[in-house]
Structure 1
Amino acid sequence: MPDLPVTPIAVVGPTASGKSDLGIALARELGGEVVNVDSMQLYRGMDIGTAKLPLAERGGIPHHLLDIWDVTRTASVAEYQKLAVEAVTRIAARGKVPILVGGSMMYVQSLIDDWQFPPTDPSVRDKYEQRLSQIGVQALHAELADVDPQAAAIIEDNDPRRTVRALEVIELTGQPFQASQPPKDAPPRWGTRILGLRTNADWLNPRIEKRTHLMFERGFVDEVETLIGHGLVADSTAGRAIGYAQVLDYLGGRISLDDAVESTITGTRRYVRRQRSWFNRDKRITWIDADQSPDQLLRAALDSLA
């Protein structure tokens, strides 16, 4: 991949750590444009439950790769990678700084690393899809954990598509799933500078709880009902997103509204633990304490880039 005329900056870290606000602040300060690296913000209409910044709160900063897929579409990291690389290249060609913002782990890695995706074999995939239909996603995920604990640690135990894909890759390559991913000590694509927002549970957990309650107060259930009218179902990439899965269970009468709220909080905390584990292994990240005022956080980010 040839060098760009400007060096991209990535802002990564756990959910609710303040990545979006810092990304906008950096874009304003450096003359940049934001490229979304949150897998669920790719979906049209998934706004409240993904904490997608409304247009009025983007400070006039162009944002790319938001609202590009229907909720009926199965997510594809490979397709995202192609679109994101094209977006970064176009932004840089205009002399603007690409600011890559998000915490979706494999999407981040697909963009900042030259990840060549492993092969696929329909017959092998069909074998594991049949196994999935026989024993269910959680039991299949447990089988993945037996053969590749690291892969199981980063894949949701209710994510059938990625569980099947991991098992397929392991069988086809004869190696752990993670071995198909680029090493985290290789130079990042385009020399990207990677900033991570460091958090601790005492600071982040109350933010997760507050944000979740605000989501429901601002009409999250109504949003999901609207998306059902556009084809959202539980057995889909979008329908398994944290929060959306819980609201679908509530609307289906399987859990109470209070349980949906609490399960969303619990699921978000569990996801944060996986994010921390994933990003902490990447020694290329320069970490900044998230628990600062916006001005202090921007200054710390700029200082780290100097």
Structure 2
Amino acid sequence: MVDIVISEFMHKNAVADLSRDFEVLYEPTLGMDPPGLTKVIRQAKALLIRDRTVVDIPLLAKAADLRVIGQIGAVSDNIDLLGCEARGVSIVRSPDMMADAIGEYVIASAMILVRGAFFSARDVMAGKWPRGHLVGREIGGRTLGLVGLDFGARAAATRARALGMRVIAWDPFLKPTHPAWSDIERVEFEPLLAEADVVSVHLPARPEFIGKLGTTALSRLKSGAVLISVGGGGIVDEAAVANMLSIDRLRGAAFDGFETEPLTFEAGSIFAAVPNLLLTPRIADLTLESHHRSSAAIVAKVRGALNL
């Protein structure tokens, strides 16, 4: 009898911790095999996932003994929250454990794209010396605009201020009295787009946010702005951004999330030959350190939910 199913990758120390007191099935690719997951979930008390395992009504219907779902890493939209609530299944997460990794990703991407000097390796190796084309810009004194003020965005804000940046943000969830606004300037969505030199998108892939940064919104960005997307896929119009980069309307862009995931050859073809572009496969929140922290935090919360 399996007590805990872990269907995506987790730190080995966390798996060992749970295995001391529970019968644990750890199969890191099981989340991409719904029929296989359905077969082993029947008597499990806990399911530990990331963002690839879909927890929907059919799966929940097979998991009669399920008491808790632990989501490792950043919050995603792959869990039917109402379905879990109706069946008394609690959900525990640890998004704050990933904040530093996301904050560093945002600032590193911003510095690379604003400076614009780090895509020249081939020319330099070929004996060219393109100094005149690589006179970049400094990030200090510029404005970082955060679309969504989650834990990762707040970590990026801390680092941006240390570099001498002004930080502004828009978030539809946080009340004006939330302590996060104590050192971040609260603005509306459209003024943020117009004022920011670097726009970093942190919104979840909820229906009301899909297409939020479409052609109309993107047209409000400063000429020469940098766009970074670490939120849900489909929030930013990828084709529009690719076109704006191609015509030098934007200075650079970084995408860590996409409308189609994993990104297919066809979906990715819109980025072919686009300059000043960084593409990564959902790793903004993933470092060795954050992996360890988040796994350990989820183990503690799952133990608490199972009263052990």
TM-score (norm 2): 0.29
Higher strand share: 2
Greater RCO structure (CA 8 Å; 6+ sep): 1
TM-score (norm 1): 0.30
Larger Cα-atom Rg: 2
